[in-house]
Copies of this chain bind each other. A is one copy, B any other.
Amino acid sequence: MTVPAVISLVTLGVRDVTAATRFYQALGFELSPGSVDGAVSFFRTSGARLGLFGQDDLAADAQAEARTSDGFRGVSVSINVESPSAVDAALSAAAAAGATIAKPAHTAEWGGYSGYFADPDGHLWEVAHNPFWPLGRDGLPQLP
């Protein structure tokens, strides 16, 4: 008996679903018409789908404590791209859309090139080029 090895959806808890939705639309992410205005948004991302939900609603749904922690959440979400220049372009586009550059892109000791941006709720997104993880036809990294 196993658990299906798939990450279908990542849901980020946000203070204001409408404002967060505008941010991700400004990044260029395509909103699904299955979203409910101001209540829950889903984006047609490849890899895992992205969901936005009120942070208190998400806590209630998971029966977690209602208060969302401040500070580092212990999670990051990555966008893997095909080249270092694509990392720079994506971080610039994120900044233009209102993201905070949490860490400018640089060559990492593991041999890749990456940086981080934070969305308006502080969720951390890494943008990375990993030369050891070629992207497949589906645009997703192929792990060794």
Residues of A within 8 A of B (CB): 1-14, 27-30, 32-34, 42-51, 55, 58-59, 61-81, 86, 89-90, 92-94, 96-97, 102-103, 116, 121, 123-124, 126-128, 132-133, 138-141, 143-144
Contacts and interface: CB of A to CB of B under 8 A. Distances in A.
A62 B124 contact: yes
A98 B40 CA distance: 31
Contacts of A5: 27-30, 43-46
A79 B80 CA distance: 21
Given A47-B47, A62-B102, 19 more contacts: A3-B127, A5-B45, A6-B79, A7-B48, A7-B49, A8-B47, A8-B141, A10-B10, A11-B75, A11-B78, A34-B132, A34-B133, A55-B72, A59-B74, A64-B71, A68-B72, A69-B69, A69-B72, A74-B121
Given A62-B103, A75-B13, A27 B6 contact: no
Contacts of A49: 7, 140-141, 143
B9 A27 contact: no
- The count of identical subunits is 2
Contacts of A94: 3
A50 B90 CA distance: 22
